[in-house]
Structure 1
Amino acid sequence: MEYGICLLSVVPMRAETSDKAEIVTQMLFGECYEILNRDGNWINIQLASDGYSGWIDFKQHTPVTADYFKDWRNTSHPRVMDLLQVVSNGESRIPIGIGSYLPFFDGMSLRINDKSYVYNGRASNASSPATTAQLLKVAANFIKAPYLWGGKSIFGIDCSGFTQQVFGICGYQLPRDAYQQVNHGDEVHFATQTQPGDLAYFSNEEGRIIHVGIMLEGNQIMHAHGEVRIDTLDHNGVYNAERKRYSHQLRIIKRIFL
């Protein structure tokens, strides 16, 4: 088997072997992956973090050893807490954003293969899950981030990418898509019983889960819809006061942090 790591701020993972193909997700700096297949200038990879797979351009592939990949997968890594930062060594400076991984970070430097990079920004505590208050503070960093199908970065993010990144930074790994995330946590039976940090899920007319957001105080919800924004939730769904209409139909609420 072959393995790699993302050495750029963000790399698109596509559904097919074309620059025109749908972006199914993104890979952030410091994420490791396993190579599943190759097709010309394209590499089919599976992320070690959440098992999601897609195609990347071979020019954006950085190989790592099997031992490094194994150690990466078995280690909890701090995540970048600042909106924008850089990592650097004597050869290069790499821009990175919130949610990026800091492999084998010791408080000052991180390691990729046998190279060391310096990081001077804020990092999450990989050994201690965050409190609800800390989770909501992390989520607030994403306000006004534009919606992007398949996105996971501050410059473009989708609804489940938003919840995955916020919970991931706070020490809880969720799957990539909303219909997968809904299988985590305990059900909250009434909208009036929600607590900050709960995840609210929404379905389409066929009953498929298509949207997710993070509950706040006062029945407000933070979610990625056009942008990461705050709206109101009631038993019907999300109400957008600017447009004076409901945008999503509530299906179920789950509590991750008990």
Structure 2
Amino acid sequence: MTYAICPVSTAPVRNTSSHKSEMISQLLFGELVEVLELKGRQWVKVRCCDDNFVGWVSSNQLEIITPSEYEIYRDNFAFVFDFFHPAHANSHFMPLMVGCRLPNFDGIQFTIGENTFNFSGRAVYPQDAKRDPEILVKLAKMYLNVPFLWGGRSAMGIDAPGFVQVVCRMSGIQLPREAEEQIYSGDNVEFIDHALPGDLAYFENTRGRITHVGILLKDKQVIHAYGKVRIDDIDHFGIFNQELKRYTHKLRLIKRIFSPKQESKNDAAIKSVGEATQIELF
């Protein structure tokens, strides 16, 4: 097998091998893919290693890595937890944002290919991140007002399932890329009155297909990507937009992705990479 890493801030994943093709997802810096097919010198068909999502990426936005590098990068990395923070190389900066990965990060530096970067922002190893719904909600609120972008997964533009996937991933929960596949994760919550902050709400279109998802907050509110990442009211019918004075999404089901014992209301501290002491995440 051949593997590659994303060496740029974000790379579009397209439906076909053309820059005019629909962007169906994005790779973030440091994410890994399996190379499935080459088309000329310009395009690579890839399978994203985290969620098996398949699409086409421009070859100049990927860097081929060895099998041993793949294993190291897969098992040793930290998530960027700053909204924006550049990494510094000898001759240039690399703009990074929340959700990007720092492969084989030692607390100060990381290396991709021939480039060594210094990173002084907040970064968290996955094993140090608490699987806690309060942390999930705080991470989600970092994205408030990020514009909606079809296929987006970054702080510069994001769609609804991409928003939920990236935020959950930083909280230790792995979800598929599409909302209609995410519904198979977690346990059903029968009534919205029984829902808790951090539960995921899924919504259907007029044909009954799951097309939208958001993260439930307290006081019957939901944070989701619709025009931008925003907070709206929700009830057993769906999402009610106070600005439009109408329902915008029909509720289909609610899923709980945290077990009851992980729903404790503690002020969890997360160990920030490069820090000797525990600090508050927010």
- TM-score range, shorter-chain basis? over 0.9
CA distance in 2, matches of 1:100, 1:144: 19
**Which residue of 2 is the match for residue 9 of structure 1?**
9
CA-to-partner distance for each residue in 1:12-36, whole Å, 9 max, x for gaps?
0100111110001000000111110
For structure 1, the residue ranges without an aligned partner over 5 or more in a row are none
Instruction: In structure 1, give the amino acid aligned to 2:253.
Output: I
Tell me if structure 1 keeps the 8 A contact 2:111–2:117.
yes
SS in 2 for 1:218: coil
Instruction: In structure 2, give the amino acid aligned to 1:80.
Output: V
**Which residue of 2 is the match for residue 71 of structure 1?**
72
Instruction: In structure 2, give the amino acid aligned to 1:100.
Output: C
Q: 5 Å matches for 1:27-106?
A: 27-40=27-40, 41-73=42-74, 75=75, 77-106=77-106
SS in 1 for 2:101: coil
Deviation of 1:206 (Å): 2.2
Name the count of aligned residue pairs: 257
Instruction: In structure 1, give the amino acid aligned to 2:2.
Output: E
CA distance in 2, matches of 1:28, 1:87: 14
Tell me if structure 1 keeps the 8 A contact 2:72–2:104.
no
Instruction: In structure 1, give the amino acid aligned to 2:62.
Output: H
Instruction: In structure 2, give the amino acid aligned to 1:181.
Output: Q
SS in 2 for 1:201: strand
Residue 189 of structure 2 corresponds to residue 222 of structure 1: no
SS in 2 for 1:212: strand
SS in 1 for 2:70: helix
**Which residue of 2 is the match for residue 150 of structure 1?**
151
SS in 2 for 1:127: helix
SS in 2 for 1:99: coil
**Which residue of 1 is the match for residue 267 of structure 2?**
none
For structure 2, the residue ranges without an aligned partner over 5 or more in a row are 260-282
Q: 5 Å matches for 1:131-170?
A: 131-170=132-171
Farther off after superposition, 101-110 or 151-160: 101-110
SS in 1 for 2:77: coil
CA distance in 1, matches of 2:16, 2:247: 34
**Which residue of 2 is the match for residue 188 of structure 1?**
189
Instruction: In structure 2, give the amino acid aligned to 1:176.
Output: R
Tell me if structure 2 keeps the 8 A contact 1:68–1:113.
no
**Which residue of 2 is the match for residue 197 of structure 1?**
198
Deviation of 1:58 (Å): 1.5
Q: 5 Å matches for 1:105-120?
A: 105-113=105-113, 115-120=115-120
Deviation of 1:70 (Å): 2.5
CA distance in 1, matches of 2:78, 2:138: 17
Deviation of 1:76 (Å): 5.3
Q: 5 Å matches for 1:212-251?
A: 212-251=213-252
CA distance in 2, matches of 1:153, 1:18: 21
Deviation of 1:115 (Å): 4.6
Instruction: In structure 2, give the amino acid aligned to 1:85.
Output: H
Deviation of 1:77 (Å): 2.7
Percent identity over the alignment is 41
**Which residue of 1 is the match for residue 26 of structure 2?**
26
Farther off after superposition, 175-184 or 201-210: 201-210
Farther off after superposition, 106-115 or 7-16: 106-115
Q: TM-score, normalised by structure 2?
A: 0.88
4+ residue segments displaced more than 4 Å = none
